[in-house]
Structure 1
């Protein structure tokens, strides 16, 4: 069984991006992931266009901090983001509602 990493998920985000869900939105969210295969990535959406950059950027609307394994589970539809947030597995600095909107802008990665 291939192990999917957070890097794999971020690498495929543009192809799993639902452009229509982001029309009129302008926001930046940074994900800081701890543990094996962790790292930081910043997603920026502006008028239906997504950019994915490795690293932390200034001027973000929210920063999401969590374990890389938990991120992968949620991205693959195997974890519950609300439960993870409520139990402290996900920490959000900034606008949690914006982070929830971001979740709705991506379809579940396939072939992973």
Structure 2
């Protein structure tokens, strides 16, 4: 991951509502959640939710798919893991000190 990509992802997460939405989607796993359910769980009005999901999608942290009349959003676990790897790349003097494999099992 390059610095500009990391900054874009971190900027998208540097807002309370978007961070909450992303965490909900991580908890939901690869199946994701319908936009209406995200709105309900996060207590965010649909018009605001749409804006926040667009920002997360622009940073490639979430993806959307249409299922019937619903739009299902899910966390992009590969992107999340790339960001975590970028942030911890030189951790502990370059020695691997944490495992980032937990989220990739659901991707």
Fold shared by both chains (TM-score > 0.5): no
Give TM-score, length-normalised by structure 1.
Answer: 0.32
Give TM-score, length-normalised by structure 2.
Answer: 0.33
